Amino acid sequence: MAARLGAGDRDQVKKGGFILFVGLLAFLGLVFYHPLFRVLQRGLTEGGKWSFSPLGTILTDGYYLHIIVFSLKQAIMSTLLSLGIGLPGAYLLTRYSFPGKTAIRSLTVVPFVLPAIVVALGFILFFGNSGWVNQWLMSLFHLSSPPLHILYSLTGIVLAHAFYNAPIVTRVVNAAWEGIDPEIDEAASSLGAGGIRRFVGITLPLLAPALLSSAALVFIFSFLSFPIVLTLGGARYATIEVGIYTLVRTLLDYRLGSALILVETALSLSFTYLYLKAEGGFAVLTQGSRRLAVYPLFVRKASIGRVLIVVYIVIISVFFLGPISSVLVDSLRVAGRWSCESYRQIFALSYNPFLGVSPLRTVLNSLFIGGISTAISLPVGTLIAMFAVRSRLPGRRLIEAILMAPLAVSSVAIGFAVLYGLGGAPLHLSGTLIVIALAHAILTYPFVVRVIRPVLEGLDPSLVEAARSLGASRNRAFFEVILPLIGPGMLAAAVFAFALSIGEMTATIMLMRPGLGTMPVAVYSLLSARQFGAASAMGMILIVVTAVAFLAIDRLGKRGTKCQSL
Amino acid sequence: MFNKLTVLFVVVLLATVVIGTGKERLVVYTYDSFVSWGPAAALEEVFESQHDCDLQFIAAGGAKTTLSRLLAERDASGTKADLFMAEVNEVPRIMNYDLFLPVTKEDIPNLALVPEELLLDPGGGFVPYEYGYITLTYDSQVLTEDELPRSLDQLSDPRYARMLVCEDPRTSSTGFSFLLWTIARFGEEGYLDFWQAIDPTILTITSGWSEAWAMLSHGEAPLIVSFSSDTAYGAMYEDSIRYRAFAPGGQGYRTVYGIGIVKETTKPELAKAFIDLLLSIEIQEQLPGTEIMIPANSHAKLPPEYDEYLVIPEDPLMLPLDLVGERMERWLHDWERAIVTK
């Protein structure tokens, strides 16, 4: 703060921040930490006393050790494949220009917010035994049986995780890469360093924090993945999540279930801590005075590099567009003919017996829950981002990791905790839209932090100081200086939180009651009711809603500071 | 700005709590398909016209997860549920947790029309309203009738490699019934060997029945574990009997769905009236077309498609419920270790 500020003024700022922060902790305590603590407490008690014996049972049982190892193994493989697919994409977006580049960059978030059930349907329609790929191969080589057995195996799980997460790697690494000052590279070049040497010696170390940060994020998501493992791997491949689900939901063994939740949370909290540490290194990168040179991708002269890039683009397009287009085609085919019947069903205003409400109502429910949860997660996330950037407290990394805990706690556990903590007396929120919105707010605020934090870090504090020294009040400085600067970032965060809420299903299903269904739940109900065309149509609407939201944010974002870290 | 949002949030929160009070409310915990596909809407309309109350269905997932949710709520702070619907294999757990209020034919007159053989709960709290059989269903464009396995044992034949989709007994009640079928057929000493033997036959094990059906109808697999009413379903709704149920070796596993009154309810009379309505001919005759199950009320008429296509196994299997209750945990435990740990 500038020297011109009086001591009392400074205290007031601190006091205001302190009150807000205590309010934040109280809120999170009520809706998240306390319910979660009560669930975990069950796993650490035996006959009413604290005990480590449930934990001991888990850690000495071959079966639980097997699923812990398998969870780690598939998460590592998924992370490596996501990096392998995502990094060339980041290179492409950084170094080349081509038509539709901006659109593609914003669309990279879309796979991430797609409900697992839609992705699973797309994968089955595209990669399955009678899916497009096998059909093509069979007619091309005149085969009588499908040659590729991709799904229902470890390969299927890892591919689906890469489908979800590779675009995240592309986005995060691309943002960091564009921030590298080209002068460093040019200096090395003038000293005679070759292309590969410059990449290994300069670019790679500068990208390391972004690489680590995105790899850690992908690892955590794959580690906690549940519906994908269950739908594309099948029951023969069990992760810790599946183990918890079985214990808590089927065997009602809260003792062992909570102990396993404890192991899972401890592991993923450690990964979250590593991820935050890596991301902290991110801030070291400073914007250069110039941006990296960008080359047009499509030129007359073909080189080996350009041919490789085109091959990559073709493979990637098939991989990402294939499953999505097969959902689109499925939604437009009724009994072997082209038809819009499925969409007519979805937009019908009348009561749909399969959903318990009219389909339009599920769209409205989704929008309402998305709106309320964003209205909660945006201020919560912004406050935590401010804490992360401004605080100089000892152990703030650890506090931050704890504040980011929802990232490390599975949706099954969060849904269960919220139900446990808020569903009954005294609030009786069970089965209301509000309780679903609260659960969504908890699930999404860490992503708000992720988007806003780099924006706050990029904010030059001298701007505020200048405004204050020129006599602007604290509020005026906030509304007229800070807000316009971080506004686009907050908007991007809001859209991201909103899109995540729209696509969320696991916690919703645990908390909903009929009539409160959302769009992904409708997809699921339509599948259960054997209405595949309508399920695909609803899935397409979900894809379109999220894609439009991100394209819109990209247009808005261009007017302000860059906000592309996620 | 944040302060304003906080105030707004508190107001919305209080508003929902206040609005939540009003007419007397009867809460039924059920499973997804009863609401999405079953007769819930019709029941609500008739019941609310007969009684001055607000009937509310709450579906918290598949048939297997709803009980866990109810017990978790009851354990934490009490449940709102007055009635609970469940598959019969949950009865041992329901008895363990002393969940249901016993009822008699005096309480529920229509119960007299339900055959004795369906009254399976010795505690008398679980009232059956429909039943059916778990059998196999095949795609008649891939397999001919002659190519079907004549018994479960033949499923291990290499010609069925990667053809069968079954459901996870830990998450799906259909899958659990199939597991019990294999135990009833091969005994506790032989069922795990059977599962090992059909491992190459199993394409995948899905978390629920709907995923398995999706795979069958999208040509992904020609054989799934499903219900014996599937052929009749196709005839009623899809003008096609491409997917046909069959009972290998004349066997199938019996599945019964029932409802009970939660002990803590403050409205036992209203709850009994609801069960009586559920068992009435009017509602029971809707079950074959909505739940695709056989009504428990023996006086309810079946649609013509059922007369023609319903598969009734000559040798229906069902393990004693007290045995299921006693061994369930161990069977799932052993199955999990035999199938998953590879």
pLDDT digits (tens, 9 = 90+) for B28-60: 988 767 876 678 888 988 999 999 898 988 776
The predicted model scores a pTM of 0.79
Higher pLDDT, A397 or B175: B175
State which residue of chain B sits closest to A378, comparing Cα positions. Answer: B2
Check pLDDT > 60 for residue A548. Answer: yes
Q: Which amino acid is at B202?
A: I
Interface A-B, measured as beta-carbon pairs within 8 A, has a size of 183
CA separation, residue B207 to residues A31, A53, A246, B48, B91 (Å): 30, 30, 11, 35, 22
Hey, how many other C-beta atoms are within 10 angstroms of the C-beta on A549? 21
Least confident of A45-54, A60-69, A284-293, B116-125: A284-293
* Domain extents in chain B: 21-131+255-308, 133-254+309-339
Check pLDDT > 60 for residue A351. Answer: no
The first and second tokens of residue A354, run together, are 């399969």
Q: Taking CB atoms and an 8 Å limit, are B218 and A375 in contact across chains?
A: no
Q: A152, A244, A518, A526: which to substitute to probe chain B, counting the most B Cβ within 10 Å?
A: A152
Look at residue A347 in the predicted model and tell me its pLDDT. Answer: 73
- The closest CB to that of A23, out of B6, B214, B220, belongs to B6
Give the number of residues written for chain A: 566
CA–CA dist A501, A508 (Å, integer)? 9
Check pLDDT > 80 for residue A95. Answer: yes
Give the confidence band of A5 by pLDDT, cuts at 50, 70, 90. Answer: very low
Q: Taking CB atoms and an 8 Å limit, are A67 and B71 in contact across chains?
A: no
Check pLDDT > 60 for residue A319. Answer: yes
Residues of B in contact with A383 (CB under 8 A): 2
| E strand segments, A57-170 | 96-97
Q: Give the A window 170-209 contacts with B, CB below 8 Å.
A: none
The alpha carbon of residue A252 is apart from the nearest alpha carbon of chain B, in Å, by 7
Least confident of A126-140, A233-247, A518-532: A518-532
Residues of A in contact with B59 (CB under 8 A): 356, 512-514
Q: Does B319 touch chain A (CB under 8 A)?
A: no
Q: Does B334 touch chain A (CB under 8 A)?
A: no
* Domain extents in chain A: 12-42+339-566
Any idea what DSSP says for residue B262? Answer: E
Least confident of A364-368, A428-432, B233-237: A428-432
Residue with tokens 């695909």: A536
Check pLDDT > 90 for residue A480. Answer: no
Contact status, residue B195 vs residue B331, Cβ threshold 8 Å = no
Look at residue A560 in the predicted model and tell me its pLDDT. Answer: 43
Q: Give the B window 273-292 contacts with A, CB below 8 Å.
A: 290
| Phi and psi, residue A430, nearest 5° | -55, 130
The first and second tokens of residue A142, run together, are 């005149």
Q: Which amino acid is at A204?
A: L
Give the confidence band of A3 by pLDDT, cuts at 50, 70, 90. Answer: very low
**% pLDDT > 70, chain A:** 86
Residues of B in contact with A239 (CB under 8 A): none
Question: Residue A171 belongs to what H/E stretch?
Answer: helix A154-178
CA–CA dist B300, B28 (Å, integer)? 23
Higher pLDDT, A65 or A192: A65
CA–CA dist A463, A445 (Å, integer)? 27
Strands A333-334, A337-338: pairing kind: antiparallel
The first and second tokens of residue A35, run together, are 């319910």
Check pLDDT > 50 for residue B20. Answer: no
What mean pLDDT comes out for the span A58-82? 92
Q: What is the per-residue burial (b if ≥16 Cβ within 10 Å, else e) of A317-352?
A: eebbebbbebbbebbbbbeeeeeebbbebbeeeeeb
Residues of A in contact with B229 (CB under 8 A): none
Q: Give the A window 467-486 contacts with B, CB below 8 Å.
A: none
- Three-state DSSP class for residue A96: strand
Question: Which among A349-363, A427-441, B306-320 has the top mean pLDDT?
Answer: B306-320
Give the confidence band of A563 by pLDDT, cuts at 50, 70, 90. Answer: very low
Q: Does A154 touch chain B (CB under 8 A)?
A: no
pLDDT digits (tens, 9 = 90+) for A10-21: 565 567 777 888
Q: Taking CB atoms and an 8 Å limit, are B336 and A121 in contact across chains?
A: no
- Three-state DSSP class for residue A480: helix
The first and second tokens of residue B19, run together, are 């609005």
CB proximity list for A384: less than 8 A, separation 6 or greater: A24, A400, A403, A404, A445, A449
Check pLDDT > 60 for residue B4. Answer: no
Domain pair B21-131+255-308 / B133-254+309-339, same fold: yes
Q: Does B25 touch chain A (CB under 8 A)?
A: no
Q: Does B18 touch chain A (CB under 8 A)?
A: no
What is the pLDDT of chain A when averaged over all its residues?
80
The alpha carbon of residue B64 is apart from the nearest alpha carbon of chain A, in Å, by 7
CA–CA dist A60, A69 (Å, integer)? 13
Which residue(s) pair with A96 in the sheet? A295
Q: Taking CB atoms and an 8 Å limit, are A62 and B210 in contact across chains?
A: no
The alpha carbon of residue A424 is apart from the nearest alpha carbon of chain B, in Å, by 5
- Three-state DSSP class for residue A561: coil
- What is the fold of A12-42+339-566? MetI-like fold (1.10.3720)
CATH superfamily of B21-131+255-308: Periplasmic binding protein-like II (3.40.190.10)
Q: Taking CB atoms and an 8 Å limit, are B1 and A528 in contact across chains?
A: no
Residue with tokens 């797609």: A114
CA–CA dist A415, A355 (Å, integer)? 21
End-to-end CA distance of chain A: 30
pLDDT digits (tens, 9 = 90+) for A374-394: 999 999 998 898 888 877 777
Contact status, residue B81 vs residue B101, Cβ threshold 8 Å = no
Residues of A in contact with B337 (CB under 8 A): 63
CA–CA dist B82, B74 (Å, integer)? 12
Check pLDDT > 90 for residue B114. Answer: yes
Check pLDDT > 90 for residue A508. Answer: no
Strands B164-167, B202-206: pairing kind: parallel
pLDDT digits (tens, 9 = 90+) for B250-280: 999 999 999 999 999 999 999 999 999 999 9
CA–CA dist B314, A26 (Å, integer)? 63
Look at residue A353 in the predicted model and tell me its pLDDT. Answer: 53
- The closest CB to that of A528, out of B37, B204, B290, belongs to B37
Please state the separation of Cα B149 from the chain's center in Å: 26
Give the confidence band of B186 by pLDDT, cuts at 50, 70, 90. Answer: very high
Strands B315-317, B251-262: pairing kind: parallel
State which residue of chain B sits closest to A355, comparing Cα positions. Answer: B36
Look at residue B60 in the predicted model and tell me its pLDDT. Answer: 61
Q: Taking CB atoms and an 8 Å limit, are B171 and A351 in contact across chains?
A: no
Q: Does B21 touch chain A (CB under 8 A)?
A: no
Maximum C-alpha span of chain A:
83
CB proximity list for A176: less than 8 A, separation 6 or greater: A206, A207, A209, A210, A282, A285
Q: What angle separates helix B63-76 from helix B173-197, to the nearest 10 degrees?
A: 120
Higher pLDDT, A22 or B83: B83
Look at residue A389 in the predicted model and tell me its pLDDT. Answer: 82
Burial grade of B39 (CB within 10 A; 0-12, 13-18, 19 or more): buried
Give the confidence band of A370 by pLDDT, cuts at 50, 70, 90. Answer: very high
Q: Does B264 touch chain A (CB under 8 A)?
A: no
pLDDT digits (tens, 9 = 90+) for B121-170: 888 899 999 999 999 999 999 999 999 999 999 999 999 999 999 998 98
Least confident of B21-25, B185-189, B225-229, B250-254: B21-25
Q: Does B148 touch chain A (CB under 8 A)?
A: no
Q: Does B79 touch chain A (CB under 8 A)?
A: yes
CA–CA dist B265, B268 (Å, integer)? 6
Strands B127-139, B294-295: pairing kind: antiparallel
Q: Does A21 touch chain B (CB under 8 A)?
A: no
The first and second tokens of residue A406, run together, are 């929802």
The first and second tokens of residue B306, run together, are 């059922």
State which residue of chain B sits closest to A334, comparing Cα positions. Answer: B238
CA–CA dist B198, B203 (Å, integer)? 10
Q: Does B172 touch chain A (CB under 8 A)?
A: no
Burial grade of A48 (CB within 10 A; 0-12, 13-18, 19 or more): exposed
Give the number of residues written for chain B: 342
The first and second tokens of residue B212, run together, are 């398995």
Hey, how many other C-beta atoms are within 10 angstroms of the C-beta on B276? 17
The first and second tokens of residue A147, run together, are 């040659």
Q: Give the A window 432-451 contacts with B, CB below 8 Å.
A: 432-434
Check pLDDT > 80 for residue B104. Answer: yes
- Prior bond to A205 cis, omega within 30? no
End-to-end CA distance of chain B: 55
Q: Does B33 touch chain A (CB under 8 A)?
A: yes
Any idea what DSSP says for residue A352? Answer: B
Contact status, residue A447 vs residue A566, Cβ threshold 8 Å = yes
The alpha carbon of residue B124 is apart from the nearest alpha carbon of chain A, in Å, by 23
CATH class, range B133-254+309-339: alpha beta
What mean pLDDT comes out for the span A139-160? 87
Residues of B in contact with A528 (CB under 8 A): 32-33, 36-37, 208-210
Residues of A in contact with B341 (CB under 8 A): 62-63, 66
What mean pLDDT comes out for the span A306-326? 89
Contact status, residue B27 vs residue B83, Cβ threshold 8 Å = yes
Q: B32, B96, B330, B334: which to substitute to probe chain A, counting the most A Cβ within 10 Å?
A: B32
ipTM value, please give it.
0.71
- Of A505, A497, A547, the residue nearest A373 (C-alpha): A497
Give the confidence band of A460 by pLDDT, cuts at 50, 70, 90. Answer: confident
CA separation, residue A256 to residues A45, A260, B72, B325, B333 (Å): 10, 6, 15, 19, 13
Q: Does A417 touch chain B (CB under 8 A)?
A: no
**% pLDDT > 70, chain B:** 89
CA–CA dist A515, A511 (Å, integer)? 12
CA–CA dist B300, B281 (Å, integer)? 5
Contact status, residue A561 vs residue A488, Cβ threshold 8 Å = yes
Q: Give the B window 213-232 contacts with A, CB below 8 Å.
A: 213-215, 217-221
Q: What angle separates helix A254-282 from helix A53-60, to the nearest 10 degrees?
A: 80
Q: Give the A window 243-262 contacts with B, CB below 8 Å.
A: 245-246, 248-252
CA–CA dist A206, B124 (Å, integer)? 71
CB proximity list for B270: less than 8 A, separation 6 or greater: B24, B26, B51, B53, B82
CA–CA dist B264, B262 (Å, integer)? 6
Look at residue A565 in the predicted model and tell me its pLDDT. Answer: 41
- The closest CB to that of A375, out of B5, B171, B332, belongs to B5
CA separation, residue A420 to residues A443, B71, B75, B80 (Å): 16, 11, 9, 13
Q: Does A509 touch chain B (CB under 8 A)?
A: yes
Give the side-chain half-sphere CA count within 13 A for B26: 21
Check pLDDT > 60 for residue A463. Answer: yes
CA separation, residue B20 to residues A369, A430, B271 (Å): 18, 11, 21
Q: Does B65 touch chain A (CB under 8 A)?
A: yes
Q: Taking CB atoms and an 8 Å limit, are B40 and A514 in contact across chains?
A: yes
Burial grade of A454 (CB within 10 A; 0-12, 13-18, 19 or more): buried
Which residue(s) pair with B56 in the sheet? B27
Q: Does B40 touch chain A (CB under 8 A)?
A: yes
